Amino acid sequence: MRVIYVFDTYCGWCYGFESVFSKFLKNHPEISLEMYSGGLFVGGETIKASMLEHVKESNARITRYYGVPFGDAYEKQLAAGNLKMDSVKPAIAFALVREMLPKTQWGEFIYEVQRAFYIDGKDLNEPEIFVDIARNLGVDADKYASELKNNWDNKTLAEDDFKKSDSFGVESFPTLLIEVDGKYHNLLSGANTVEKLEQNFRNYSQLGEGDTAPSCKIDGSGC
């Protein structure tokens, strides 16, 4: 059964959903999973002072909806304007680790990366963060570190994912689709718990078109 998940590491709603999706994946090794980075912020962006209140309000909605926290270290970096977001580096890191981890752990890897950012305020432009997380998930850390070193500026790895995301007509992050008889159905609607996502998965053939869930638009709005 083919499931396509498109996310962005710097999408707060994706961070919330990963707390659900990472657990769901562990229950479903039978799924033929495709998981791609979407490219929400390309070129490096910082949160402007004029956007600060909007971001805080959005984060509060994410916490209410998914129950995920935003840490003091992240909040301090946010307030100081020190959070530089470029989706390319995390996309490169994921493209490489994707070849080293079982699919059931892909969501867990991204969730831990996002926790490093949204709780600990870590700079995801530093490859060591990804290596530490991969090591904790059982990846050969030396091999992964070597791959990161050799490919850290290989934007093609990220751009390939971004193009894949575009090919599915993705307009917001996160997007979770299941393919049934050549048609794509939305699995994300209302799935703010593992139980609700499992229910959607069981009832995929009955999902209505146009069902939506909170998300970040590709232009960055709604985040």
Averaged over 93-99, what is the pLDDT?
98
* Superfamily covering domain 2-85+103-122+168-217: Glutaredoxin (3.40.30.10)
Count of CA atoms in the C-beta half-sphere (13 A) of 163: 6
For the chain, the first-to-last Cα distance in angstroms comes to 30
pLDDT of residue 181: 83
SS3 10: coil
Is residue 1 pLDDT above 90, yes or no? Answer: no
Q: Which two tokens stand for residue 76?
A: 């301090």
| 43 conformational bin, left if phi > 0, alpha if psi -120 to 50, beta if neither | left
> Could you give the CA distance from residue 205 to residue 170 in angstroms, rounded to a whole number?
20
Which tens digits make up the pLDDT trace of 139-159?
999 999 999 999 999 999 999
Confidence of residue 222 (pLDDT cuts 50, 70, 90): low
- At 179-197, the pLDDT tens digits run 988 888 899 989 999 999 9
| Closest to 100 measured CA to CA, from 128, 161, 141 | 141
Quick one: how far is CA 193 from the chain centroid?
16
Q: Does 102 sit behind a cis peptide bond, omega within 30 degrees of 0 on the bond before it?
A: no
In whole angstroms, give the CA distance from residue 105 to residue 99: 11
Look up the pTM and report it. Answer: 0.89
Q: Report the share of the chain in percent with pLDDT over 90.
A: 75
Q: Closest by alpha carbon to 10, among 34, 35, 33, 41?
A: 41
- How far is the C-alpha of 222 from the C-alpha of 101, rounded, in Å? 31
pLDDT at 59: 96
Give the pLDDT confidence of 99-132 residue by residue, as tens digits: 999 999 999 999 999 999 999 999 999 999 999 9
What SS3 class is residue 30? coil
C-alpha dihedral, 19 to 42 to 119 to 177, nearest 10°: 0
Angle, in degrees to the nearest 10, between helices 12-26 and 52-66: 20
Which residue type occupies 185? H
